[in-house]
Amino acid sequence: MEIYEALQERRSVRKYKTDPVPEEKLNRVLEAAQIAPSWKNKQCWRFIVVRDQERKQQLADSMPENNPARRAVGETAPIVIVLCADTEGSGDKDGKDYYMLDAGLAFQQLMLAAYAEGLGTCWVGLFDEEKARAVCNVPPEFRVVAMTPLGVPEKQPSPRPRKELSEITYAEEWDRPFTG
Ligand SMILES: Cc1cc2nc3c(=O)[nH]c(=O)nc-3n(C[C@H](O)[C@H](O)[C@H](O)COP(=O)(O)O)c2cc1C
């Protein structure tokens, strides 16, 4: 698949079929995350693949009732991947903690690869971290950064709006319009 197709067409998917995810697809998606760039190549990320129905429901229970991805995590998607990051396993510079960035880059690669495999994902950041930690026995030196359902989308969601390029891009210096 052409990379721009994945970049353009990936969506946050919150409705899934209950069809299983083939092992080889799951492995390729995880390998896409494995090869992400990271601070000094420290690879501070860890991924927990959750298939057990009861555990998925417990992860959904760590999310607020109004989180729109809750049903996907607890009921429909066959897999939930929990993203953890070692807070001491990356680096920091001038107050910038890079473990979040490293973990985010890896998850973005995972989400794009999932799209290329015909699978859906949805970054879930709104959950009670300590509840999710207890569900998956994550040790204290790791943050539970995010989770995503992984499965076959029920349908391709519509695109969400984005800011205009002119709103988010400057030429040469702050506030000087970028005209392309
Ligand atoms: C850091 C982060 C946290 C997010 N948390 C949630 C969440 O808890 N629940 C949810 O349904 N979507 C969540 N999203 C998905 C965003 O709502 C979604 O990416 C955004 O609306 C753009 O839509 P798109 O991904 O389909 O392009 C999160 C996305 C990011 C990057």
Tens-place pLDDT, residues 126-149: 999 999 999 999 999 999 999 999
Domain count, the chain: 1
Tell me, in angstroms, the distance from the centre of ligand 1 to residue 122's CA.
Answer: 6
Q: What is the mean pLDDT of residues 113-128?
A: 98
- For the CA of 68, the closest atom of ligand 1 is 11
Helix (H) / strand (E) containing 150? strand 142-150
| 84 occurs within a structural domain | yes
Residue 180 has pLDDT above 90, yes or no: no
Range of the domain at 7: 3-168
In a domain? residue 28: yes
Residue 152 lies in a domain: yes
The neighbour count for residue 83, using CB atoms within 10 Å, is: 23
**11 in contact with ligand 1, CB cutoff 6 A:** yes
174 found inside a domain: no
Contact of 81 with 69, CB cutoff 8 Å: no
66 in any annotated domain? yes
Q: How far apart are alpha carbons 71 and 73 in whole angstroms?
A: 5
CATH number of the structural domain spanning residue 102: 3.40.109.10
180 domain-assigned: no
pLDDT-derived band at 21 (thresholds 50, 70, 90) equals: very high
pTM above 0.95, yes or no: yes
Within a domain: 14: yes
> What value does the mean pLDDT of the chain take?
97
Check if 12 has its Cβ closer than 6 Å to any atom of ligand 1. yes
Please choose, from the candidates 76, 54, 65, the residue with its C-alpha nearest in 3D space to the C-alpha of residue 136: 54
CB 108 within 8 A of CB 40: no
Q: Whose CA is nearest to atom 15 of ligand 1?
A: 123
Q: Does 24 fall in a domain?
A: yes
Name the residue at shortest CA distance from atom 9 of ligand 1.
124
